[in-house]
């Protein structure tokens, strides 16, 4: 089964393995270890334009995750809402000091849990004149402090008529200006991306070079691109960086014009999928983030040490 268990919120709660049993198994396996690895919860939600309903659903997932022993919870891109038009998307947006984020900081403090809020519609700094937003990934600690804000830097402007995919994110979104350093959390150093960033390996390698043990790509992948590329890209990013990859996801129908692929995933540093929420409905996977697995993978296959200097990879542009 691998070091995780899964349940789906819905008519029935399915336990594929219980955490206490897992814990007991790990203790027997390694009596020398003082404490079991920390647990992260990777969530899957179906956001709509109804912010209140979305908050209520996410709050329930956070409470469940905490109850099951998670010390950090990952929510997907658009956890706050998914609008049905450009106008609606813009009008529902808020600043970081608005009501929505203050409710999440209070929740983090109350539950004593770290949060990765994977894609918040943040009003741009020149909102009055510009009327555009950032797609912001916010890390909040268990005291309710905002520890980091990464603004999505690669915007999804894609037309695939034969697949029925047409999205132009840059029409209303400002690209982020820079990467942010990996954040030290109770599960390890987390490097931040958002959705479409997943397709750019330069980003993951830069975060890994700056100390990331875990990469996270909260997403709202379309059904067509998700079926074709989601799992293979997440596993590739894990394999090439030898990091855990945690990817919360949107699932199902948000409104009449948009649906998402689902399959929130957790991948270990070897590239094995250790948790998958499926493509049907909201829920979560819990995964034990054992950093010894990162160290062992990097020790046994020292890819980073075998990497040539930057000049080598740029040598083609000199010719």
Residues acting as catalytic residues: 77, 152, 195
C-alpha–C-alpha distance, residues 58 and 46, integer Å:
10
Alpha helices in 264-309 (DSSP H): 291-300, 303-306
C-alpha–C-alpha distance, residues 58 and 65, integer Å:
10
Question: 16 by DSSP, 3-state: which?
Answer: coil
Give, as one character, the DSSP assignment of residue 173.
Answer: B
C-alpha–C-alpha distance, residues 48 and 39, integer Å:
28
Pairing of strands 165-168, 183-185: unpaired
C-alpha–C-alpha distance, residues 40 and 45, integer Å:
16
C-alpha–C-alpha distance, residues 280 and 278, integer Å:
6
Task: Spell out the residues 6+ positions from residue 257 whose beta carbon is closer than 8 angstroms to its own.
Answer: 84
Question: 203 by DSSP, 3-state: which?
Answer: helix
C-alpha–C-alpha distance, residues 287 and 114, integer Å:
15
Alpha helices in the chain (DSSP H): 19-29, 51-67, 86-91, 99-111, 127-130, 201-209, 223-225, 231-241, 291-300, 303-306, 310-313, 315-318
């Amino acid at each position: 089964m691998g070091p995780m268990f899964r349940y789906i919120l819905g008519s029935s709660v399915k336990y594929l393995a219980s955490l206490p049993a897992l814990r007991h198994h790990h203790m027997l396996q390694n009596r020398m270890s003082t404490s079991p690895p920390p647990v992260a919860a990777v969530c899957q939600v179906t956001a709509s334009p109804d912010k209140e309903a979305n908050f209520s659903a996410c709050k329930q997932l956070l409470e469940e995750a905490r109850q099951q022993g998670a010390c950090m919870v990952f929510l997907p891109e658009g956890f706050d809402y998914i609008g049905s038009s450009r106008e609606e998307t813009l009008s529902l947006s808020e600043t970081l000091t608005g009501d929505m984020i203050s409710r999440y900081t209070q929740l983090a403090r109350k539950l004593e849990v770290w949060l990765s809020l994977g894609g918040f519609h943040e009003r741009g700094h020149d909102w009055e004149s510009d009327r555009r937003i950032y797609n912001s990934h916010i890390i909040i600690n268990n005291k309710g402090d905002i520890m980091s804000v990464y603004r999505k830097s690669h915007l999804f402007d894609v037309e695939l008529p034969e697949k029925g995919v047409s999205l132009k994110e840059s029409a209303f979104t400002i690209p982020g200006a820079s990467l942010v350093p990996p954040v030290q959390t109770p599960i390890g150093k987390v490097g931040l991306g958002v959705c479409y960033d997943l397709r750019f390996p330069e980003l993951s390698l830069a975060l890994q070079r700056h100390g990331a043990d875990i990469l996270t790509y909260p997403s709202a992948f379309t059904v067509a691109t998700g079926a074709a590329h989601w799992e293979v890209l997440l596993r590739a990013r894990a394999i090439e960086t030898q990091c855990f990859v945690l990817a919360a996801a949107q699932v199902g129908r948000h409104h009449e014009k948009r649906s998402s692929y689902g399959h929130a995933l957790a991948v270990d540093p070897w590239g094995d999928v250790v948790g998958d929420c499926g493509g049907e409905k909201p829920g979560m996977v819990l995964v034990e983030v054992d950093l010894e697995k990162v160290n062992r993978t990097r020790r046994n296959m020292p890819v980073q040490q075998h990497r040539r200097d930057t000049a080598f990879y740029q040598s083609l542009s000199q010719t």
